[in-house]
Structure 1
Amino acid sequence: MNGENTDLRETVRRRYAEAALKVAEGGTACCGPEPTEVDENFGSTLYGDDERGALPVEAVAASLGCGNPTAVAGLREGERVLDLGSGGGIDVLLSARRVGPTGKAYGLDMTDEMLQLALANARKAGAANVEFLKGTIEAIPLPANSVDVVISNCVINLSTDKPDVFAETFRVLRPGGRIGLCDVVADDTLTPERRAERGDHVGCMAGALSFAEYRRGLEAAGFTDIEITPTHAVADGMYSALVRATRPRQSAAAQLPVPPAGP
């Protein structure tokens, strides 16, 4: 990772550490230009009253996302689900309820303060089928083929190495597994420079991919059945979008016909 990318990652880590500490002190956090700024396009308002009411107030207050991935991932009883950039744990706890005691929900985050907050929220929720991992979404600390579903909520746009994120996501999914993401995505007509005019990297704007770039990135990693659907605008020409895709049950190489044996 080059110096500029290292600096950006540290800026992201520091901003969200501050957000976690604010929540722990009784405040709220949100994505957008400032993580402590309430914005109807981000945060807990994108969840239903029944979902918010079933969780610790700190998990709700720490919601930083631009959507509700658990509502679109189609989680089923007994599945294993991984949340990339799990923050205060809202999507992990909701996932754990959906997959039930025979399933499991993992949360992955690089920020110690967020992990501490998430663990405290899991204890308050009495969630026994959750596990929080420290690490980056570019190098997921789980074995290959280990989860059924990967979700994420307004985090992939923050990565400085999105090809690695897509490749790692593909690796940890079992064949036939799927993703259900919420992320900020830009119009194809917006250049990176014009995206940066709408907000900085840590504010979920400057690092966003366009619709075409997102699709190409997922295809390059091996995903199929890709759907990228905008839900609401978060800035001029930029949207919260639902991203769905599948890891094929067989690789393209495995599907090729076997050549006949030689003489």
Structure 2
Amino acid sequence: MNNSKETKEKTCCGPECCSDDNTDTAVLENDLTKEKSEEELKQIVKDQYSQIALQSKEQNESSCCGSTSACCGDVNTFSIMADEYKSLKGYNPDADLGLGCGLPTQFAKIKKGDTVVDLGSGAGNDCFVARAETGETGRVIGIDMTPAMVEKAKANAAKLGFSNVEFHLAEIENMPLNDNTADVVVSNCVLNLVPNKVNAFREVYRILKPGGHFSISDIVLTGELPVQMKAAATMYAGCVSGAVQKDDYLNIVKNAGFRNITVQKEKLITIPDQILLDYMTADEAKQFIRSGSGIYSITVYAEK
């Protein structure tokens, strides 16, 4: 495993509210104070991202439910580090909801004619970038567990007239794909939301062809998050409290059978003080900052 090749600092911010009624906000904020099953955690994510799917990126930016919500300033946890897609070939603004934490296709080594699978494909952002690289002779498959996202992605693909881009409603731990299907797997800030990451990476290994590879951008930790942040469902759906330790993450990848594991890019995420104060006292926030614990976005490459 190599050391990261690039380190930058970014900022994130936590959502305060994201509900069409008065019942969901309190539940969403405190739902993890008691241990939840995998299915309950998945439902929290589905509920949050279903609401995001119903809005454009611009609408999300001006609401309390979006990827760059004004509820807490410039950005929130859903745009922890939305790297700029606009310069990439294949970029489609209708598919960009600002939900990523990296640019996994940058390191994906996609070739013409490749079959590419995108895990947690959302509205199709990375799928359409991948399609520009694999071309008309390739195939791009998006997997997402949120019906509203799959519907939005299919509509975007239809507008673009792509016959070789498809989207499936499924969970990453149980994909409706044959063994050895993909040349390349990509994913952007999604696997941290999967409760059983061991099974998820086993599935990635299963669907990759021998010699295939993945490029995945995700959130990891060094050190421990404060208990209050771990307990907040908004922090889970916002890709923070569901993250695991960086070393543990890379070991999961290794134990799934992958080789040539490389952290291609790494970015430190700085949580603004005003967001920390939503979850802890000022003294606790100072203690967390001094602890040296960190939240990072990493883009990992590995081969089967």
Give TM class, smaller chain: 0.7 to 0.9
Map 1:103-182; keep pairs closer than 5 Å: 103-182=138-217
1:27 maps to what in 2? 59
| Offset, 1:91 | 0.3
Runs of 4+ residues deviating >6 angstroms: none
Q: Structure 1: which amino acid aligns with 2:164?
A: N
Distance in 2 separating the partners of 1:191 and 1:22? 31
| Offset, 1:226 | 0.8
Does the alignment pair 1:212 with 2:247? yes
| Offset, 1:127 | 2.0
* Identity score, percent: 33
Q: CA 1:91–1:29 in 2, change beyond 3 Å: closer, same or farther?
A: farther
Q: CA 1:211–1:44 in 2, change beyond 3 Å: closer, same or farther?
A: closer
Equivalent in 83, 89, 98 of residue 124 of structure 2: 89
Distance in 1 separating the partners of 2:149 and 2:260? 33
Q: Structure 2: which amino acid aligns with 1:97?
A: A
What TM-score do the two structures reach when normalised by structure 1?
0.82
| Partners of 1:19 and 1:29 within 8 A in 2 | no
Equivalent in 16, 23, 31 of residue 49 of structure 2: 16
| Offset, 1:57 | 2.7
Count of residue pairs brought into register by the alignment: 240
Q: Structure 2: which amino acid aligns with 1:70?
A: T
Does the alignment pair 1:47 with 2:100? no
| Offset, 1:142 | 0.2
Q: Structure 2: which amino acid aligns with 1:120?
A: A
1:256 maps to what in 2? none
Q: CA 1:225–1:158 in 2, change beyond 3 Å: closer, same or farther?
A: same
What TM-score do the two structures reach when normalised by structure 2?
0.72
| Partners of 1:80 and 1:105 within 8 A in 2 | yes
Q: Show CA shifts across 1:30-70 (max 9, x none).
A: 9xx96452639838951343338x5443212x231101111
Distance in 1 separating the partners of 2:66 and 2:221? 20
Helix, strand or coil: the match of 1:22?
A: coil
Distance in 2 separating the partners of 1:4 and 1:166? 20
| Partners of 1:55 and 1:125 within 8 A in 2 | no
| Partners of 2:107 and 2:264 within 8 A in 1 | no
Q: CA 1:120–1:68 in 2, change beyond 3 Å: closer, same or farther?
A: same
Structure 1, unaligned stretches of length 5 or more? 248-263
| Offset, 1:193 | 4.2
Structure 2, unaligned stretches of length 5 or more? 1-34, 272-293
Q: Structure 2: which amino acid aligns with 1:18?
A: Q
Q: Structure 2: which amino acid aligns with 1:152?
A: S
Q: Structure 2: which amino acid aligns with 1:58?
A: D
- Which is bigger in relative contact order (C-alpha 8 A, separation at least 6)? 2
